[in-house]
């Protein structure tokens, strides 16, 4: 008999399960805390439950744990892990340590594959298989947090939904996972430590505003005009820049969350000072930080990395205009763990 993963149930649903076994409602809260606060995935370890209740739970429910199927460690300390899911699909998550800044960041996946097919991204070439369940997202956080403690003696400080998939196309499960990560009765992380990256899903951004979700937002922009962005990111054809900026303005007006633009620079495509001026004009609608990112090689993609001098000139142009701008150097690219490279690839180039 296939058992149901107990993590699909909310606290009220766990209360119903406890009462069906003749147990008081407060037992459900204990189960909930074992799962979401203490990260326990074995009923026998839930020691404040009676043996009878534990046996009943084992009879009907299970934990479909992520299986670690590959792991690589970069020369810079970045760790990429491949996880096999209950249906044998594989996803990847990345631990990015920056000890000098006391930052230990999890880059978490939200889908198996991705449907957006951005030209520069390896994940898009995999195609979307399915959305991840909230507990599959949460377990990445749990397992990588343990990695960080074991390897670097420090728990995670930041979580970025920048791994495989488009988070806002898995809105409900992403928000449920964030609730578990931030809930005081679970992991208790601050919303300020969490960033959702999106290619610009207008409906999803507006829903974040309507739901008053106060996590940081990173727009995967990469071009400041529709023609170039259409070429890089087909999603722009149905979610154009005007509508995306309008939705982000709505989000900022309602929540005052931090918004950043992620801008991968491609040689002789989006790296001119004219491109910088167009990008600057997009920063006038709300406070924004720009992260300029060097392009990371993806096999079969006919785009090239802009040289460092041009990247620095581009950044200086924006800084001189008063825009907060950071040039982000890629980490983990020697193990295909950098921005745009997650594709379940474990052999080195």
Q: Indicate the DSSP class of residue 86.
A: T
- Residue bearing tokens 């609730």: 179
Nearest to 223 by CA among 120, 323, 312: 120
Structure-token pair, residue 307: 């040289």
Instruction: Report yes or no: 220 and 197 within 8 Å, Cβ to Cβ.
Output: yes
Single out the catalytic residue among 92, 136, 262, 294: 92
Distance between CA atoms of residues 68 and 140, nearest Å: 10
Q: Is 107 annotated as catalytic?
A: no
Write b or e for each residue in 32-41: b if 16 or more Cβ atoms lie within 10 A of its Cβ, otherwise e: bbbbbeebbb
Q: Which helix (H) or strand (E) holds 172?
A: helix 171-182
Distance between CA atoms of residues 34 and 120, nearest Å: 41
Q: Indicate the DSSP class of residue 147.
A: H
Distance between CA atoms of residues 225 and 230, nearest Å: 9
Structure-token pair, residue 322: 């008063």
Instruction: Report yes or no: 102 and 157 within 8 Å, Cβ to Cβ.
Output: yes
Single out the catalytic residue among 107, 114, 118, 339: 339
Q: Is 136 annotated as catalytic?
A: no
Instruction: Report yes or no: 48 and 29 within 8 Å, Cβ to Cβ.
Output: no
Residues paired with residue 84 on neighbouring β-strands, in sequence order: 67, 90
Structure-token pair, residue 344: 């379940």
Its sign, for the CA torsion 55, 56, 60, 64, is negative
Catalytic residue set: 92, 339
């Amino acid at each position: 008999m296939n058992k149901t993963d107990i993590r699909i149930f909310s606290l009220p649903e766990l209360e119903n399960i406890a009462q069906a076994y003749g147990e008081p409602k407060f037992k459900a809260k204990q189960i909930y805390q074992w799962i979401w606060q203490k990260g326990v995935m074995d009923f026998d370890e839930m020691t404040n439950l009676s043996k009878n209740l534990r046996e009943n739970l084992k009879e009907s429910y299970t934990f479909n744990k992520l299986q670690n199927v590959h792991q690589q460690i970069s020369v810079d300390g970045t760790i990429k892990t491949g996880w096999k899911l209950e249906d044998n699909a594989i996803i990847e998550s990345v631990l990015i340590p920056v000890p000098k800044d006391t930052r230990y960041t999890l880059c978490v996946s939200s889908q198996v594959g991705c449907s957006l097919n951005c030209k520069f991204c390896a994940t898009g070439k995999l195609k979307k298989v399915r959305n991840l369940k909230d507990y599959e997202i949460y377990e990445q956080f749990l397992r990588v947090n343990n990695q960080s403690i074991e390897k670097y003696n420090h728990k995670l400080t930041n979580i970025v939904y920048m791994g495989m998939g488009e988070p806002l196309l898995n809105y409900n499960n992403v928000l449920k996972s964030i609730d578990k990560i931030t809930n005081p009765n679970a992991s208790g992380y601050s919303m300020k430590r969490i960033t959702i990256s999106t290619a610009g899903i207008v409906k999803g951004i507006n829903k974040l505003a309507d739901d008053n979700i106060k996590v940081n937002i990173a727009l995967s922009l990469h071009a400041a005009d529709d023609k170039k962005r259409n070429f890089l990111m087909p999603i722009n054809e149905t979610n154009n820049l005007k509508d995306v900026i309008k939705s982000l303005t709505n989000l900022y007006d309602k929540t005052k969350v931090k918004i950043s633009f992620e801008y991968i620079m491609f040689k002789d495509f989006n790296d001119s000072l004219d491109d910088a001026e167009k990008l600057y004009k997009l920063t006038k609608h709300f406070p924004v930080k720009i992260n300029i990112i060097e392009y990371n090689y993806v096999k079969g993609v006919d785009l090239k990395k802009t040289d460092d001098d041009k990247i620095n000139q581009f950044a200086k142009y924006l800084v001189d205009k008063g825009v907060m701008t950071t040039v982000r150097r890629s980490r983990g690219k020697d193990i295909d763990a950098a921005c745009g490279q997650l594709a379940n690839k474990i052999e080195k180039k």
